[in-house]
């Protein structure tokens, strides 16, 4: 049975969820479904949130935007861009990564999946930009968390929980996001030919300098280029960008020669990093979150096993294309104090390897209790994440 529910009002949604709770039906909350290939396939009823679309309130000088959770990401992005602003966590459409057309991703989906781009390093992730939400919990109750102002500590910070909740706590109908001014000028400076260790050192040095680097990434030779590229992005007002680029040349003089990337090349470089295009052809794709200094040893080990990879977030995010033994990846991430998410994999692997890195038992138990706080009957547990003993 793969039916689809398409409510368009909070009342209908609330009824649908309450009804599912009564009948024990599992609901897979979906936006554009661009991430449905993450995790184990499930046959739960699809709860399509795209009926909750539209811009609700946008006052650019307040830096606050309220939209329906099912609004296409592309629509939100073009609206704020038209006002010289941006979603500073740089969410992106994963559709193409899974061989689907672009344009399907919704704002609710990217927030629930905690999607962020290279700017996450300095400007924060979805968690840092979600100010308020309205949602229907697993009991069919409508509730709100947070508020439509930037600074707020009234009650628990529920928006943090909802960002990255992967449809397991409540169905969000409305989101209020913090937006930021789009930088007036941008420059990308690169060093070619660095090894992972030296790339890490250069990025660490740059991030510790006064150059106020906003993003730092590294694409190695093994991932398709003729030589490795270590890139640093500097953004802001024109005079400041020029001064900081000059400063960076000085700061990194012991690390290599800096070149300024022409604008079009810079744009395609950052898109490649964000959308992981150099690794697009691999069957199995992992996302490893670690402290940057631990990255070089990890990628060296996997490169010798045939993996391809790239660094974003100054090395704190490793995208790893590795079709070999999945059992090696998580222990390596754990030894480095981090964790690994299985983003893309053949179906056979996804039915046995959980998408999210397993947590230690005490934390897993706590998460379970928190999920039950929002969804007491477990109707949002579709079995997709393989961590729910009583899910189907």
Span 175-234, contacts to ligand FAD by CB under 6 A: none
Beta bridge partners of 320: 286, 309
Look at the block and give the residue holding tokens 């979150």: 289
Among residues 36, 240, 260, 277, the one that binds another protein under rule CB under 8 A: 240
CA triplet 41, 310, 338: central angle to 5 degrees? 65
Nearest-approach distance from CB 21 to ligand FAD, in angstroms: 16
Look at the block and give the residue holding tokens 């398709």: 224
Structure tokens at 34: 């661009």
Q: Is the CB of residue 98 less than 8 Å from the CB of residue 37?
A: yes
Phi then psi dihedrals of residue 214, to 5 deg: -95, -25
Phi then psi dihedrals of residue 33, to 5 deg: 70, 20
Exposed e or buried b per residue across 352-387, where buried means at least 16 C-beta atoms within 10 angstroms of its C-beta: ebbbbbeeeeeeeeeebeebeebbebbbbbbbbbbb
Nearest-approach distance from CB 367 to another protein, in angstroms: 5
Nearest alpha carbon to residue 199 among 310, 304, 123? 310
Phi then psi dihedrals of residue 342, to 5 deg: -90, 105
DSSP helix/strand/coil, 73: helix
Among residues 131, 332, 341, 379, the one that binds ligand FAD under rule CB under 6 A: 341
Q: How many CB atoms lie within 10 A of CB 120?
A: 24
As a whole number of angstroms, the distance between CA 339 and CA 333 comes to: 5
Give residues 59-88 in contact with another protein (rule: CB under 8 A). Answer: 59-64, 84
Residue 31 contact partner, candidates another protein, ligand FAD, none, CB within 5 to 8 A by sort of partner: ligand FAD
Q: Which stretch binds ligand FAD (CB under 6 A): 81-89, 140-148, 201-209, 339-347?
A: 339-347
Among residues 16, 17, 104, 199, the one that binds ligand FAD under rule CB under 6 A: 104
The residue (of 140 and 236) whose beta carbon lies closer to ligand FAD is 140
Please tell me what DSSP assigns to residue 366. H
Site string for another protein, 317-356 (x = CB under 8 A): x-------------------xxx-x--------------x
Nearest alpha carbon to residue 263 among 185, 365, 341, 364? 185
Among residues 35, 218, 357, 371, the one that binds ligand FAD under rule CB under 6 A: 35
Give residues 106-165 in contact with another protein (rule: CB under 8 A). Answer: 114, 120-121, 124-125, 127-128, 137, 139-145, 147-161, 163-165
* C-alpha 387: how far from chain center: 21
Residue 33 contact partner, candidates another protein, ligand FAD, none, CB within 5 to 8 A by sort of partner: ligand FAD
DSSP helix/strand/coil, 140: coil
The residue (of 183 and 295) whose beta carbon lies closer to ligand FAD is 295
Nearest-approach distance from CB 253 to another protein, in angstroms: 17
Nearest-approach distance from CB 49 to ligand FAD, in angstroms: 4
Does the protein bind ligand FAD through residue 98 (CB under 6 A)?
A: yes
Residue 127 contact partner, candidates ligand FAD, another protein, none, CB within 5 to 8 A by sort of partner: another protein
Among residues 13, 21, 45, 69, the one that binds ligand FAD under rule CB under 6 A: 69
Nearest-approach distance from CB 2 to another protein, in angstroms: 10
What residue ranges bind ligand FAD (CB under 6 A)?
29-38, 49, 69, 93-95, 98, 100, 104-106, 108-110, 112-113, 115, 166-167, 171-172, 287, 341, 343-344
């Amino acid at each position: 049975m793969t039916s689809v529910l398409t409510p368009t009002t909070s009342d209908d949604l609330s009824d649908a969820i309450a009804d599912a709770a009564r009948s024990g039906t599992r609901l897979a909350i979906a936006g554009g479904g661009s991430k449905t290939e993450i995790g184990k396939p499930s046959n739960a009823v699809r709860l399509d949130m795209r009926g909750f679309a539209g811009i609700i309130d946008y006052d650019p000088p307040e830096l606050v935007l309220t939209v329906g959770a099912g609004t296409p990401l592309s629509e939100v992005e073009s609206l704020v861009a038209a006002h010289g602003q941006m979603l500073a966590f740089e969410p992106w459409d994963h559709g193409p990564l899974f061989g689907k057309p672009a344009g399907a991703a919704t704002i609710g989906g990217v927030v629930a999946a905690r999607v962020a781009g290279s700017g996450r390093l300095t400007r924060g992730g979805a968690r840092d930009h979600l100010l308020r939400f309205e949602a229907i919990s697993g009991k069919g109750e409508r509730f709100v968390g947070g508020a439509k102002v930037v600074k707020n500590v009234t009650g628990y910070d529920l928006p943090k929980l909802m960002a990255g909740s992967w449809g397991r706590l409540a169905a969000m109908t409305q989101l209020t996001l913090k937006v930021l001014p789009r930088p007036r000028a941008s420059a990308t400076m690169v060093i070619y030919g660095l090894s992972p260790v030296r790339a890490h050192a250069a990025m660490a040095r740059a991030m510790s300098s006064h150059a106020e680097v906003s993003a730092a990434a590294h694409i190695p030779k093994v991932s398709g280029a003729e030589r490795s590229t270590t890139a640093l992005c500097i953004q802001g007002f024109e005079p400041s960008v020029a001064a900081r680029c000059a400063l960076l040349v000085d700061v990194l003089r012991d690390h290599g020669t800096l070149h300024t990337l022409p604008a079009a090349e810079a744009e395609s470089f950052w898109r490649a990093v964000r959308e992981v295009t150099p690794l697009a052809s691999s069957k199995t794709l992992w996302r490893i979150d670690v402290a940057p200094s631990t990255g070089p040893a990890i990628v060296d080990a996997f490169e010798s096993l045939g993996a391809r990879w790239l660094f974003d977030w100054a090395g704190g995010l490793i995208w790893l294309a590795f079709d070999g033994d999945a059992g090696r990846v998580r222990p390596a991430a754990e030894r480095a104090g981090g964790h690994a998410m299985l983003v893309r994999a053949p179906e056979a692997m996804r039915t046995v390897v959980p998408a999210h890195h397993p947590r230690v038992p005490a934390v897993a138990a706590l998460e379970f209790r928190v999920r039950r706080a929002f969804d007491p009957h477990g109707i949002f547990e579709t079995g997709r994440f393989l961590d729910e003993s009583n899910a189907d």
